[in-house]
Amino acid sequence: MGIMDKFKLDNQVAIVTGGAIGLGKAMATAVAEAGANIIIADINLEAANKTAKEIETSTGVKALAVKVDVTNDEEVDSMVTTIMEKFGRIDILFNNAGIGQHIKIEDMEYSTWNRIMDININSMFLVSNAVGKVMRKQKRGSIINTSSMSGIIVNSPQPQAAYNTSKGAVIMFTKSLAVEWAEHGIRVNTIAPGYMKTELTRPYFEENGDMVQKWVELTPMKRPGVPEELGGIAVYLASEASSFVTGSVFTIDGGYTAL
């Protein structure tokens, strides 16, 4: 097999949580272009359906939208059942669903802290366990978790301790799961993006929000990333091209954490 053949994902099945928009949509599109069938798992079914149809039209793979609250164990189990009934296998999981808020610790309600933890890290426990049952039987699989450079450094000047804490937890969860499940042929890695211009953040960047200038100054490449710039690493980690890669953190941040 030539090196470029190892990047092919023909007929594989990939789940992307939070895949309807932003980083999740970009990664889903990239692995679809590499040949994988896609499940867009999102709490917003309308947006998920739109993305699934776009991917089917542009790539020719099968794409399924599934409504799921990734913090609800029953809904997560139901999602896996639905996927197995339709496809009979799960090869790739992108744990991408996440939220963040700029709130000082002293001003944060405990319920807000818990919600950020539930969506950003507890959901990965639930989804990985549900999908892991399938992957362990298959004796193969690749799990790619979306963390953040915020799990490695403390961003400035915005206060976001809850988000940073949750993303740090994602990195350690990734490493721990990689070690525990290596014997089952399951690889687990994490992509840690820096500042990215997405549908949600684009207006802030374009309006030159008060923090944007500092973010750009602290980034050696002097710009934010765009979601499509995660496509290459997404395909790499999903494919056999990364067959000896597990428990690793891939920071895609324009050099921010190199300073």
Compute how many other C-beta atoms are within 10 angstroms of the C-beta atom of residue 28.
Answer: 31
Q: How far apart are CA 124 and CA 121, in angstroms?
A: 5
For 22, residues 6+ apart whose C-beta sits below 8 A from its C-beta are 196, 198, 199, 200, 227
Among 128, 142, 147, 148, which one carries the catalytic annotation?
Answer: 148
Q: For residue 86, what are the CA distances in angstroms to 80, 89, 90?
A: 10, 9, 11
Euclidean distance between CA atoms 148 and 95, whole angstroms: 12
Neighbouring C-alpha atoms within 13 Å toward the C-beta of 213: 3
Nearest Cα neighbor of 14 from 50, 66, 70, 57 is: 66
Catalytic residue among 25, 123, 142, 163: 163
Active site residue 104: no
Annotated catalytic residue 175: no
Catalytic residue among 128, 167, 242, 256: 167
148 catalytic per annotation: yes
The C-alpha atoms of residue 189 and residue 162 are separated, in whole angstroms, by: 22
Task: Kindly list the catalytic residues.
Answer: 148, 163, 167
